[in-house]
Amino acid sequence: MQQEDIDLIYKNIGDYKGWTCPFIGLGSLVMRKGNEEIKANRGLEVSNWVVECWYELKNDIDKIEKRATA
């Protein structure tokens, strides 16, 4: 995934495997697909909270999608 793709997801313009990002802020990142929603939270005290949250959610999405195709 390229930085441009990640930027689009953060702006809720793009998606990752069909998951969109309806909320980003206050140390939290939310991804949604249909009725399913997953969240990651690091808090604003973590300087790179967006990146940390994104990697956590990306791993969660990859696991969910892998189970769905198994």
- Interval 22-52: pLDDT, tens: 888 899 999 999 999 999 999 989 888 888 8
**pTM, to two decimals:** 0.81
**Sole residue written with tokens 């969240």:** 39
What is the rounded CA–CA span in Å between residue 18 and residue 16?
Answer: 5
What is the phi/psi pair of residue 3, to 5°?
A: -60, -35
